[in-house]
Structures are given as structure tokens and as C-alpha cells.
Amino acid sequence: MSGRVVIVGAGLSGLACALHLAGAGREVTILERGDRPGGLAGERVVDGWRFDTGPTVLTAPDILDRTFAAVGERTADRLTLRRLDPAYRGFFGDAGPLDVRADPEDMAEYLRAECGPGDAEGYRRYAAHVAELYRLQIDDFIDRNLDTPRDLVTANLFGLVARGGFGRLAPLVDRHFRDERLRRLFSFQSLYIGLAPRRALALYAVISYLDAIAGVWYPEGGIHQVPEALAAAAVGAGVRIHYGSEARAVELRGDRAVAVTTATGERHAAGDVVLATDEGAALRLLGRPRARRRFRHAPSCAVVQLGGVDVPAGLEHHNIFFGRAWDRTFDDIIGGGRVMRDPSLLVTNPGRTDPADAGTLYVLAPTPNLDDGPDWRSRGDAYTGELLAVLAKRGLPLDAGSVRTVTTPADWADAGYDSGTPFSLAHTFGQTGPFRPGTRVRGLANVVRCGAGVQPGVGVPMVLLSGGLAARRVLGRR
């Protein structure tokens, strides 16, 4: 039997898994249907304008450091990371903008001047509280394979309970801040996990910690440079990556995988198989029907990318244009089946940090996914016009530019993302920790999964950790 590990997918989780396995001395082959690494964290070049096609926010560079360190490399040898300051600028109409500063002490003094001493001290308490929530969770509940609820019973669980981790996010934020602008800036991150702040568990304030307190970073050349660097490190460690190689099926004998076959008929013998894919693709490769349990997917998004734009003054790298509505906005896109009637929009301006990207903008609007929402096949262009009109009314008039592309939930579905969402499964209580699909594939002794749809969840740091968790399964380490 071959000792080789075959990984399907060269996205962030698949690459992270490959690095951990290669560092442990395993022979690794990656099959990637695209012509370059990255998966969701891809890149598009249109008429000379470069765009990231997936995430634009990078947090927790220490997790990236650990991933490179698996093969004896350093992030700094492969990437130039720049810390963004401010991490975000929030626009609130007549209430005026607020920044999220990179240094916590600087942020507290900034808030003292902008919002008053009460919110400045509230910020200090909040920052300390969520940093402690992160410390309690990272080793026992995030960077760990959780097979049963019994795995949750650790000393840190009691600390998490004592600090209100199983309460709700919105009340936690509200207790620390009186200014409504701050309440939004420190709770909008719940959209990343597919929940309204009033329904998300308070333990997910760790996303706010990573995002708005620990810091946001930007790799020179764009987020796509992260998978490019991981792939280069993997190849340097002996990993074979086959691009343009679409996996068609996992060949099984009893409860073991013995090979992966491709659309062109190639057969790659395997001692272990790692599926770095969404659930739907994994089931098709295994020849299995969809599971009886229907998982709930997070909302999706529409993304408009503009090139050749005369970028207005006053924009930082990441900008959020908040609407007046708040709770109703979440109701619209989570189960409501409609686009936001008063949208809050993320506008990313990478040229603020990297002059090579000057003249490009990225506008993201959260939307329902295809399970809940409208048919997007013919709606993309019209919705683009609506979003740009909203921004113009809020003080951000954008000229037509020379390039305009739009990605809708229908396009995400065409790219292979279940329910037309790049944000995978929502992080409801029943889809968190041991209740979320794990890295082990039930009934198969040597097939594991990794990615946003399994533990620990969504976001660049989490999918990197997921790759590490899958590698531990292969290596037999807890």
C-alpha cells in the first residue's frame, strides 16, 4: 500500500495540511483543478487590473507563522506583511466616521477624544475580556479535533462559562460601549459566521478580538500571495502539486481509500486521502448521498470589483459604510430571503497600502445564500448599479472606471461552493465545536477533510488551523 497522502484541493486548508504532513516526513501529492493555488483566495487580472477574488482581511499572522514553521520556513522569507492602521474606518452618515486603530492604547485615547471617557474605559475592558476569551479557546476548542461533547470538558471550559462565553454577543458588546457606532464596529464580525450579533454566542467575540484588536494585516501583492507562498514552501519541501488535475472519484476498498482518480483518467495511489473541499464535492468524490442532516449555510455576498477608478479621498484600506438599519439588516439576509433594504457595505481600497493596486476598489454586500434568496442569474448588473447608487448617497461617488466585474451567489455556486456562499456553514450552536463536521470522515479509516465547512470554521486563520487538524488525523496525533 502506498504511503503517499493525496490531498484534493490547493486552497489554504489543503496547502496548510500539506506543509504539516511534509514537515512530518510524509510523501504528499496535491490535486488541484485550477491552474494555480488558492481556491477561494484566488486572483483575477482584467485589462491589467489585479483583484483578489476572495478574502481581503488577514488576521492572526502567528498562525501563518506556525504553518510555514512546519517545514522550517518563516513567513518573512516568503511574504511582506503590513499592519493596517487603522484596521477599519466606519462611516455612519451624519454621526461621523470612527476608526479602529491598530494599537489598543492609541485606540483608547482616540475613543476618549471621539466618544468620551466612558467608552474609552469600556474599550479597555472589552479588549482585555475578549483577549482572555481567545486564550481560553485557542488550544482546547479551536486548534483541536473535537469528536464528542465530552472533549469540551476541560478546565478552560469552566473559565469560558464563568466569563459569559455562552451568552450572546450583542449584550456583551453593549455592556462595554454606549456609542452605537462602537457597538456596530465590534459586532459586525458575526456576519463572518452567518449570525446576527443578538444570536451569536459571546465566545465568538474572539473574531472581534482578532479583527479589531489583535490587528489586520495585508500581504504585499494581495491576499492571493498567501497561497502562492504556501504552495512555494510546499514544493520546496517535496510536495508535488498537479494543477489542472480535477479529482473525479476516491477509489475505495472496504473502509479504506486506495487511490484518487482524475477527470483525465490518471490514478494516484494513496495511503491516506485528504479532501480540502466543501461537503458537496467531498460526497461526490466518495460516491455518497448527501447526509440526512441538513446543515444551515451562512449568508452569501455579492462582490463588485472596480478598476481604473479615481478613488475619492478619505478612504482607508478597509471601510464600512453602515446603513441606519441594523437588526433588520440581519433579518433580511439571514432567513429573510431578501437583499438588504438599507445595506451596510464593505469597501476595500488596497491602493491605500500597496501602490501597485492603486485605482482598484472592492465592494462587498452581504446577501442571502441560494437556499434562502432570489435567483441571481440575471440580477448581478442591476444590483451593482443599486450598490453604487447607495454609496453615492452616502458620500462616496464612484466614477465608472474602465473595469467592472460582479460576483453573485450564483457565481459562487458555479465555482463549487455549497448553497452559493463562500462562507460555508453558519456557526450556530448546533454547528460549533464537536457539533460541526469534524476532520474525520465517518466510516472510512483513512479519509479526512479540512476547510471552512469543518472544525474549527470560517476565516483565513481557521482554515489554516483546519489543515493542521487534518494532518494530525493522518499522523495519528491528538
Nine-digit cell at 410?
A: 450564483
Cβ-based burial of 361 (10 A; exposed 0-12, middle 13-18, buried ≥19): buried
Q: Encode pLDDT of 390-417 as tens digits.
A: 999 999 998 767 888 999 999 999 999 9
Q: How far is CA 59 from CA 69, 111, 217, 223, 331, in A?
A: 17, 23, 6, 11, 28
The residues that bridge with 22 in the sheet, in sequence order, are none
The pLDDT of residue 381 is 84
The pLDDT of residue 1 is 42
Q: Encode pLDDT of 118-134 as tens digits.
A: 999 999 999 999 999 99
> What span, in angstroms and rounded, lies between the C-alpha atoms of 73 and 92?
43
The pLDDT of residue 131 is 95
The pLDDT of residue 292 is 60
The pLDDT of residue 478 is 45
Closest CA to 123 of 98, 141, 156: 98
Q: What band does 290 get if pLDDT is binned at 50, 70 and 90?
A: confident
Q: What is the DSSP string of 9-25?
A: --BHHHHHHHHHHHHTT
Residue 217 scores a pLDDT above 80 = yes
Q: What band does 291 get if pLDDT is binned at 50, 70 and 90?
A: low
Q: Encode pLDDT of 451-468 as tens digits.
A: 999 999 999 999 999 999
- Residue 121, C-beta contacts closer than 8 angstroms, at least 6 positions apart: 108
Average pLDDT over residues 156-167: 94
Average pLDDT over residues 211-216: 91
Q: Whole-prediction pTM value?
A: 0.95
Task: Between 374 and 203, name the one with better pLDDT.
Answer: 203
Rounded to the nearest integer, the mean pLDDT of the chain is 94
Closest CA to 31 of 229, 271, 246: 246
Least confident of 25-34, 54-63, 67-76, 207-216: 207-216
Closest CA to 179 of 109, 122, 108, 128: 122
Closest CA to 59 of 100, 2, 107: 100
CB atoms within 10 A of CB 413: 18
Distance of CA 2 to the CA centre of its chain: 34
Nine-digit cell at 241?
A: 502539486
Residue 439 scores a pLDDT above 60 = yes
Residue 294 scores a pLDDT above 80 = no
Q: How far is CA 356 from CA 48, 78, 142, 312, 349, in A?
A: 11, 18, 36, 17, 12
Strand order from edge to edge, sheet including 345-348: 98-100, 88-91, 318-321, 345-348, 360-367, 300-307, 403-407
The pLDDT of residue 123 is 97
The pLDDT of residue 477 is 60
Nine-digit cell at 401?
A: 472606471
Least confident of 45-59, 182-196, 291-305, 334-348: 291-305
Closest CA to 413 of 438, 451, 387, 376: 376
Nine-digit cell at 91?
A: 462611516
Cβ(368)–Cβ(341) under 8 Å? no
Q: What is the DSSP string of 113-162?
A: HHT-HHHHHHHHHHHHHHHHHHHHHIIIIISS---SGGGG-SHHHHHHHH
Terminal C-alpha separation, the chain: 24
Q: Encode pLDDT of 94-152 as tens digits.
A: 899 999 999 999 999 999 999 999 999 999 999 999 999 999 999 999 999 999 999 99
Cβ-based burial of 476 (10 A; exposed 0-12, middle 13-18, buried ≥19): exposed
Q: What band does 2 get if pLDDT is binned at 50, 70 and 90?
A: low
